[in-house]
C-alpha cells in the first residue's frame, strides 16, 4: 500500500512542474499525423532473411498533444511470416531542446532516439536500440518526397559499420 502512495505522490508532484502547453517545436511532426500505407524491404540481418514488407501506420496526437503516437503493423505474408509491430512516441524534450522519441516492438526491442528536426525535406532520428540482449547505435531517416509520400530507412551500427535494416516508401491514405 505504501508503494501505491509513493507512485501517486510522484505522479502528482511531477505534474506540478509540467509545462501547460506543448512545445511549438512539435509542429515539425504535424505532417506525420494520419494513416500511412508502406511497402518496402527488410534486409538480411542476424534476426532474419531479406523479405518484402507491407505495413500500415496509424499516427495520432495523444496525451494532450505532447506526444505523437505511431502504431506500426506489418502484414503477415508468405515471405514475412513474423511481421514486425510496434508503438512509437515522438515529442519534444525541453531540457535537451530536441525532439525525443521512444519505441517498443513485438520482438522485445526498445529504442530511444532524438532529432534536431527537419533539415530541408529530411529528418534523422539517432539513438540506441536494445534487442536480443545487445544494444547498438541506430538511426532512422525520413525523406519527404511530397505532402503524401515519405521514404524511410532504418540503420544500425554493428561491428563498427552502419548496416541498413529496412527501407520503405509510405503513402498517406
Residue boundaries of the structural domains of the chain: 23-172
- The fold of the 23-172 domain, in CATH, is Lipocalin (2.40.128)
pLDDT in tens, 104-134: 999 999 999 999 999 999 999 999 999 888 8
Residue 18, pLDDT score: 64
Q: pLDDT below 50 — which residues of the chain? A: none
Residue 150, pLDDT score: 98
Residue 133, pLDDT score: 86
Residue 47, pLDDT score: 77
Name residue 127's beta-bridge partners: 113, 138
Phi, psi of 117 (to 5 degrees): 105, -170
pTM for the full predicted model: 0.86
Residue 26, pLDDT score: 93
The conformational region for residue 57 under phi > 0 = left, psi -120 to 50 = alpha, else beta, is: beta
Compute the distance between CA of residue 153 and CA of residue 40 in angstroms, rounded to an integer. 9
Name residue 136's beta-bridge partners: 129
Amino acid at each position: 500500500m505504501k508503494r501505491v502512495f509513493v507512485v501517486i505522490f510522484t505522479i502528482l508532484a511531477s505534474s506540478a512542474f509540467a509545462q501547460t502547453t506543448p512545445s511549438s517545436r512539435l509542429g515539425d511532426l504535424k505532417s506525420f499525423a494520419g494513416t500511412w500505407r508502406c511497402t518496402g524491404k527488410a534486409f538480411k540481418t542476424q534476426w532474419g532473411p531479406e523479405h518484402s514488407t507491407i505495413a500500415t501506420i496509424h499516427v495520432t496526437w495523444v496525451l494532450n498533444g505532447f506526444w505523437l503516437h505511431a502504431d506500426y503493423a506489418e502484414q503477415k505474408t508468405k515471405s514475412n511470416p513474423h511481421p514486425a509491430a510496434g508503438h512509437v512516441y515522438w515529442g519534444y524534450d525541453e531540457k535537451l531542446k530536441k525532439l525525443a522519441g521512444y519505441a517498443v516492438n513485438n520482438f522485445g526491442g526498445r529504442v530511444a532516439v532524438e532529432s534536431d528536426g527537419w533539415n530541408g525535406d529530411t529528418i534523422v532520428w539517432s539513438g540506441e536500440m536494445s534487442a536480443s540482449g545487445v544494444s547498438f547505435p541506430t538511426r532512422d531517416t525520413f525523406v519527404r518526397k511530397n505532402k503524401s509520400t515519405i521514404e524511410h530507412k532504418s540503420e544500425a551500427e554493428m561491428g563498427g559499420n552502419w548496416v541498413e535494416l529496412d527501407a520503405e516508401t509510405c503513402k498517406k491514405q
